[in-house]
Every structure is written in structure tokens, then in C-alpha cells.
Chains A and B, each alone.
Chain A
Amino acid sequence: MNQRHLELPELLATDLDCYFEQLMLVYQHRLYAFALRQVGNAQDAEDIVQETFLHAHHALKNYPASRIRTLQLRQWLYKITVNVFRNHTRRSELQAIPLDMSEDSQLLEIDDQSVEPEMEVYWREWRRELEARVATLPQPYGVAVNLHYFEDLSYREIAELLNQPVGTVKANVHRGIQLLRRALETSKNETR
């Protein structure tokens, strides 16, 4: 992480009103890209990031300065974004396009293991196409894949952010990737 990111909590602790705009300027693009992947349309993504910043502002107003200083802003903002996204999804009843998640799907039997190197290469090639499809994943997998592969958060960071065991996060990332891969291949076969 850029060292200058690390100075922002201190500034926010000192003068929130003065520096909150800086916080938004620093993180708006990342959060927007994250939200866009998650919901799949620009208007919803902007709404989610707006709400995220407002919630963040209220939280920072509530926090003692000592708490602000200890914040890992990026993870913290993702955590709020995920919250907002979940509420947004609940409210708008925005349903992800269901992929094959039936009980007999082999995808559900994937072991909790890290993604194999060759698969990473494969995944990188199809990154953009996959990215556009993150929003179609069921929520637990979409959030985990989005944070891990597109926002570079470690499994441990995601586990803290989502308050889930690391193993669950790993499994969700893995399953999410498998689902995307399968969806993409299906789509290609259909267009041929």
C-alpha cells in the first residue's frame, strides 16, 4: 500500500470535515469499480458508493479519534460497501441470475484449496469478461471473488471484513471462480 494512504487516518482524526473529501477522492474509483462489478449497472454502483461514503462519514463522526487512527481505511470502506450492497440488494430485490447451484452440481463439491497456477493464467486471460459477470454470481461468491481477485484483498482481510472463517472465504472464492469459468464457457459455446 502506498505510504501516503497511511497518513489519511491521522488527518481524518485531526479534522474530519476538512479531510473527508480527500478520503472520497482517494477511494472513489476503487469503490465504484468494486460496486459496479457487484451490481452490474452504473447507476446502482454510484448509489452504493454514495451511500457508502455517507455511512463512512457518520461512522467517522461517531468514532473516537483513537479509533480513526487505527483504521485500515481500504478494508473498512469495503466492509461498509458490502453492507450497503447487501441492504441495497435486499431492498431492491435485485436477484442475481442463478447459476447452476443445485445440490447435485459438482461445483459444490470443490475442495477448499487454493486456485491452481494454470487456472490463474486462464483466469487472467478472461479477466475482463469474467469481471463483467461477477454481478451474476450469487452474493457470497460474488463478494468474495470481487474482493480477492479484483481488489487484491487477502483471504484473511476478506475474512475480517465479512466476519467469516478464512476457510469459508477461500471456498467461496474458489467456487465463484469455477462458476464464472463455467458460465463463460457456456456463453462461448452458445455463440459459436
Chain B
Amino acid sequence: MKRDEAMDHNDNEQRLMTDIDSLAQQSHSRDGVYAPASLVPAVLSRLQVANAAVQSGMQAEQLDRLLTALEDSDWHVRATAVRALGELGERTPVEPLVAALNDEDASVRAAAVRALGKLGERAPVDRLVATLHDPEWAVREIAALTLGEWGERAPAGPLLDILHSEDEDPYVREAAKMALQQAHPAVFSPLAPDAVMIERTTDHHPGETGGHPRERARSYLTKLIVPFKSLSGRSAAGKNGQEQDSIIEIAALDAGAGSGSAQQQPVPARPRRHLALRIGEGVLAALLIAGLALSWLALAHRLHPSSPGSSSHPRQAPTAGFTVSPSWTGHDVSLTVVDGVAYAGTLGKEVYALRISDGSLLWRYNTDASVGEPPLVVNGIVYVSTANLGQGSSSIYALRAGDGTLLWRYNISSSYGYTPTVVDGVVYVNSPDGIVALRASNGKPLWRYTTQGYTVGSPLVVNGVVYVSATVDQGPGSVYALKASDGSLLWRYTAKYLYTPAVVNGVVYLSEGDVSEGGIVALQATNGTVLWRYALASTDFLSPPTVLDGIVYTIGTKFSPETAFASSGSYLIQTAVRTVPSKQKTPFWEQAPFKFGGIPSVYALRTSDGALLWHYMANKGEDISGSLLWVVNGVIYIVTNVDVGKNYIYALRGSDGSVLWRYTIEYTPSSALVANGVIYIGSDGWTEGGTISALRVSNGSLLWRSPIYGTVFNTPILVGESLYVGTGGGFVFALQASNGSLLWRYLTDVSG
């Protein structure tokens, strides 16, 4: 792999060099003004002369020569000497560098800031902070960036002051923002317009907790539990007794974990879906320890139900179960891009339509509740699902795509948001106890069907049949196949803990989750008869199936309570199974229940008879986190978490499960898209401020990485050469897909 990587790198370099050479040839003033041929050689010569002088001083270990160079009349020599002094580690003298902070040339002062910043404990903190007020922007910029690299030691106040100062140079403000994101990600929250997005708080993010890994994990979980309790307290009036039972278990864990301080500290605002996951993690951990494996299954399902995907609804939201707490101050933006327009729904109750060519606002609509999933746009109508936790009301808004005019609105008596599916002029939307079909033009109900238990996910409509999943607390789940035209029942399949199906070529594939006996089942779509069933007895959880090219893929997890706290990572990412066809037209979306403390395995079954083709089990020690999985062009991509700041992305060959490559990433993925030979990964905004990275599919090498201010929960959207993402920081970002550079960004209203 290394050889391939090196070859790829060389090829890429070669190509870029050629490009740049040719560009340099044609890069000139349009008026035919050319720089003299002596210009570039003169600069190179000056660089070499100064470097040579400094290098000889360093090699001879003659500090005197470097110190003499600090007195040189040429600022460039002085700056080079300052930089060289900063490379001496223990031997770096502090006083000459402090003196260089007063040099008349800004580049020398900037180099001194940088050199002093590397001295660790020896660095004169006050002097460096004072350089944030240097008269030159270039020095202030370096000072901010340098402080950012100090992590927690960096004083947040002066950086915040810069960020809030409207008179400050934009470059310096940008540097202060980057520094704060790097050093104090927990205080970075988008509350003010544009570049200024900070609230003052001293919360630390989970990864910063010190101590033994086990303690860190416990501390981390304890922090997660706090919002769960507050959330549950608010929803206690709800009908879910299961939630209240779980609160007791969590309280017990809380007390036993011994990190009471975390209980006093309100957990920083977490965007909606992430919190749901962390809640699930807390629930899961508690119940694993208490040995209540059965009871949390239904709760997990309820809190975070999975959803069907449909090839006819490429941007179908993954779940109908999102909830929104009024106390959350996250500003997550859920994005859809259709016909040159980005439609953004926000937790701040707004819907925005932005022109994707330049980010200009076309229209804006204010709903009366939070929008937690990407709007769905079909035939010129924007369908927006809203939810209002605690008030028991959610809605589907139908807005005219052209101008945002409200066409109709359908109310649902539930605190959960329900994302509709729209096919052939009919809107299918789940409700707490069934499904309703609405006429897309006016929102009038066409038919209703009442299910046993509460519905899960969104309806899946394939070939005139509507598939609805519903489950009963601690009871069986069912998949209902209804005739799309009138809602009459065609058949019903019942098993324990069913997740939403995949329907391919007249066959319905289902994951049956059961603690004692899970499995994958294939049903005849016409009548629901079982074609085959593959039992995975040793697996506690199964992700919904992904079907591609005659193979059913699923991730199964075997829980092992003793490993639950073995790793300090303790991150829990939703297990998602999704395929994105190479043209990215019809991403298939599935969302599985979360996993915790188990060993994930990938299973590949033959669609024709359910025979096991291969089975890949993750290495021990990589077993804590959930996984993201994509299947694209015969390659499966999974993510495992090993430790805090260490995750692996695996590429497995779809035909036999062999490992093609493994790539290590230090941040926690929150979403991803595989398209055109590139994996675009959104990272957790809480562990690093939020970035998008692009990895080459062929070998996992990094192409670029760009900051996007907040977690990207929804799959990035690729249109042509541009990548669009909505972030937890309230932004819509448009990036150049080839290199991650910013095309434009739009900040939604984050004042609420």
C-alpha cells in the first residue's frame, strides 16, 4: 500500500507541477507587463544566502553566529536567524528572541513570536499575549495562531476580544477563530454573526478529560448522561414509561462513576442528533452494566429509530424519531440541494433557499418549530418536517420551491418529527400510530392505516407498495406492506425488533434484531413469504441490510460488557449503512441502532439463497465505537474507533472481505459521502471544531481538509465540482470539491 501511495503521490505531484508550470507561463498581467527575469532568481538567491549563513551557524553549533545574525542590517537575515534559534529546542535562548519582539520589521517580530511559542513552559506567556496588540496585522495573526497551538494553556479571553473587535483586521480575526477552535473547541459556539461566533464558557470537551482510560470513559459517559436526564425530565410527561425506567439506571451509574463535577457542569450545547446518540450511549452503558439488555433494545429503538431508504428519494432523511429540546443551543443546518438551489432547515425554525452558485438568499420561511432533517424537494414543492418537543406537536409544511409560499401544512400530534416520503403526487408520512397518505397538491388525506405499536423511520415506497415498520415496547415489531393506492394491507411480517427493510428486485430484505437470535430474512415482496433466513445467533445487533450487486451486507455486533469501558474512546457513532452509487444520484440511506462495547463484524450474504459469502470481524481493541459503512463500487468502507483521537477507516473488497487498505484518522467521523473516487468525511465538531476531509478512495491518502465550523450530521452533497454541507455551527458551506477551498458560506440566523 505504501508503494502505491508513494506512486500516487508522485503522479499527483507530477501532474500539479506540470499544471503550475504551464500556468506560470501564461500567468501575466493582462496588459503584457512582465516582471524582469531577474526577480525570482534574486529572491531565491536571498533565501539561499540567509539560509546558508544560518545553517552554518546551526551545524557548527555556534550560537554566537546566530546571535550575530540577529544584528544583521537585512531584516530577512534577522528573521531567518530568529527562526533557526527557535529550532534549537532546549538550547533556544529566550532573551534574544524576546528582544526580537521589538524588531522594527514585522516579519522578524512574527518569527520571534513563532519561535517563542515553541518553547513550551519556557515561553514568556505575557509577552506573547502582548503581541496580539502589535501594530502589524501579520504579527497579530501569527500570535493568534501560535496561541491556538498551545491548547488549553492558551488564554481564551484575548483571543475572544480579537474575535469580537470589528476594527480588527479580518485575517487576524480569522486566525483568532482558528485558534479558539483549536485550543478551546468547547467555547466555540456560533452565537454572533459571521466570523464572530463565540460564547464564553469553560467547559471542556470530552476528549480532554485526563486520567486512566477507564476513568476518562466513565467521566465522558457521565457528562453525556446529564443532558439525557434533563431531556427526560422535560419529556417525563410523555407516554414512554421505558424512558423513565432508564433514568433510574442512569442515575445509579452516575453516582458510581465518581465524576460528580461533570454533573454540576451543564454539558455544552450539543447539536440535536449527536445528543440523541450520546443519550443512547449513556442508556446503553447503564443497561449493559445492569444486565438489562432486553429493556434498552426497545428504548434504543424508540429514541433512535431507523428508517427506510428509497431509491426514489435520494435525500430521504434517515429517521423520523428526531426530537428537539428547547434547551439545546446547537444550530444544526440540514441541507438538500435540488436544481441549483440549496434548501436549508435549521433548529432555529427557519427554512432558507440559497442559490448554490453564489450563496445568495432566494427566500426564507419561518416555521413554528425546529427543522431537524433535510427538507425534501419533489416536483417544485419543499416538504419540511418540524418538531416541537414538550408541546406534542409536529408538522409537515409544503412550501412552493420557487418563492417559499406556504401551500399547505399537516399537523401531527407527536413530539417527534416525521419525515415524509413523496411518490407520484402522494405524500406518505408516519404518525405515532400509523401512516397517512396526503395529496401532494393540497395536503388532503387520501387514506390512513393504523399500525400496532409506534412507527419507526419513514415509509418506503417501491413499485406501488408502501412498507411501514412499527414496533411495540418490549414486544414484536412488524413490517406492513400496504397498497399505495388505497392503503389496504397486502401482508404483514412480524418478528422481534425489526428494522426497516431494503427492497430490491421484488425481494424484501430485513434485519431481525434479537439478543438471542438475530438474522437476515428475505421475503417475497408480493406476498411476504420467507424465501430464506440466515441466522446470526452470536450477534446481538444487526444494522439494516444494504443490497448491492447480488450481495446483502450487514454489520452485526456481539456485545461484550467487559469491553464496554476497556477503551477510553467510548465514542458512539450511529451505525449507518448506506450505499451511494457512483453517480451519487440515489444514495440509499439506512440507519441502524447504535452499538456499544461490542465487536462489529461485516457479513456478506448471497441474495439468491442467503449463503454466507464472507465474514469480516474487526480486531479486538477496535470494538468500542459504532461504525459507519458505505458500499460503493464493490468496496465496503467501515470506520472503527480505537481510542480517543484514533479511528480507522477500512476499505474491504466486497467480493471476499479482504482488507484493501486501512487509514488512521484522529477525529471522529460524523457523516460521509463516497463519490468519484473520493471519500468526503465530516468530523465531529466537538472534538476538533468541525472539518471536512477528502480521502482518495484508492489508498485512503488525504487530499485536503477544510474547517467548516461545526459537526456535519447530514451526508455532504456533491453537485458538479462543488461540495455543500450544513453544519452544527449554523452555516451552509460550499467548497471546491477538488481542494476544499471555500466557494461561499452562508450563516443562518443563530441568534435564537
Contacts and interface: CB of A to CB of B under 8 A. Distances in A.
B237 interface: no
Contacts of A26: 20, 23-24, 27
B110 A62 contact: yes
A168 interface: no
Contacts of A9: 739, 741
Interface string A21-40: 11011111111111010000
A179 B658 CA distance: 72
B107 A58 contact: yes
Contacts of A131: 31
A5 interface: yes
A34 B142 CA distance: 26
A20 B20 CA distance: 12
A128 B31 CA distance: 9
A5 B22 CA distance: 11
B40 A160 contact: no
Contact of B145 (A27, A64, A69): A64
B119 to A, nearest CB: 15
A6 B736 contact: yes
Contact of A70 (B114, B136, B706): B706
A7 interface: yes
Contacts of A11: 13, 16, 20
B63 interface: no
B183 to A, nearest CB: 12
Given A5-B23, A58-B107, A67-B175, A30 B28 contact: yes
Contacts of A20: 47
Given A6-B736, A69-B740, A33 B29 contact: yes
- Residue of A69, A72, A150 most packed against chain B (CB within 10 A): A69
Interface string B229-247: 0000000000000000000
Contacts of A76: 171
B39 interface: yes
Contacts of A27: 27
Contact of B28 (A8, A29, A49): A29
Nearest to A2: B23
Interface in B143-201: 145, 148-149, 168-171, 174-175, 178
A160 B28 CA distance: 24
A49 B39 contact: yes
A178 interface: no
- Residue of A22, A58, A64, A70 most packed against chain B (CB within 10 A): A58
A29 B33 contact: yes
A23 to B, nearest CB: 9
Nearest to A62: B114
A10 B83 CA distance: 22
Contacts of A50: 39, 42-43, 46
B635 interface: no
A79 B33 CA distance: 20
Interface string A56-87: 01110111101101101000100110010000
Interface in B677-736: 704-707, 721, 736
A29 B23 CA distance: 12
Nearest to A24: B40
B45 to A, nearest CB: 10
B17 interface: yes
B706 A59 contact: no
Contacts of B44: 21
Contact of A59 (B110, B178, B741): B110
Q: How large is the interface on B (under 10, 10 to 19, 20 to 34, 35 or more residues)?
A: 35 or more
B35 A31 contact: yes
B76 interface: yes
Contacts of A6: 736, 738-739, 741
A54 B46 contact: yes
Contacts of A59: 107, 110, 138, 142
Interface in A92-145: 128, 131
Contact of A7 (B142, B171, B738): B738
B19 interface: yes
Contact of B707 (A24, A28, A31, A66): A66
A155 interface: no
Given A9-B741, A22-B20, A54 B43 contact: yes
B83 A61 contact: yes
Contact of A32 (B20, B29, B707, B741): B29
B550 to A, nearest CB: 39
- Residue of A29, A30, A46 most packed against chain B (CB within 10 A): A29
Contacts of B106: 55, 83
Contacts of B454: none
B36 interface: yes
B171 A79 contact: yes
Nearest to B170: A160
A33 B35 CA distance: 7
A7 B19 contact: yes
B79 interface: yes
B706 A69 contact: yes
Contacts of A54: 43, 46-47, 76, 107
Nearest to A58: B107
Given A7-B19, A59-B107, A62-B111, A32 B705 contact: no
A9 to B, nearest CB: 7
Contact of B705 (A34, A69, A128): A69
Contact of B111 (A58, A72, A160, A163): A58
Nearest to B23: A4
A92 to B, nearest CB: 16
A51 to B, nearest CB: 9
Contact of A4 (B19, B34, B704, B721): B19
A88 B749 CA distance: 44
A144 to B, nearest CB: 16
A28 B24 CA distance: 9
Contacts of A69: 704-706, 740
- Residue of A27, A28, A63 most packed against chain B (CB within 10 A): A28
B38 interface: yes
A7 B35 contact: no
B298 to A, nearest CB: 44
B33 A32 contact: yes
Contacts of B80: 58
Contacts of B675: none
A32 to B, nearest CB: 4
B742 A70 contact: yes
B137 interface: yes
Contacts of B35: 28-29, 31-33, 46, 49
A10 B34 CA distance: 26
B43 A24 contact: yes
21 contacts: A4-B16, A7-B20, A11-B13, A21-B44, A25-B40, A29-B29, A29-B35, A30-B29, A32-B36, A33-B31, A33-B35, A46-B39, A49-B35, A49-B39, A54-B47, A58-B107, A59-B138, A62-B113, A64-B148, A70-B742, A163-B137
Given A69-B706, A70-B742, A163-B169, 16 more contacts: A6-B741, A9-B739, A26-B27, A27-B27, A32-B39, A33-B35, A42-B36, A50-B39, A55-B107, A57-B47, A58-B107, A59-B110, A67-B178, A69-B704, A83-B106, A150-B31
Interface of B: 13, 16-17, 19-21, 23-24, 27-29, 31, 33-36, 38-40, 42-44, 46-47, 76, 79-80, 83, 106-107, 110-111, 113-114, 136-138, 142, 145, 148-149, 168-171, 174-175, 178, 704-707, 721, 736, 738-742
Interface of A: 2-11, 20-22, 24-34, 36, 42, 46, 49-50, 53-55, 57-59, 61-64, 66-67, 69-70, 72, 76, 79-80, 83, 128, 131, 150, 160, 163
The 3 A-B pairs with the shortest beta carbon distances in the complex, nearest first, are A33-B29, A25-B24, A32-B35
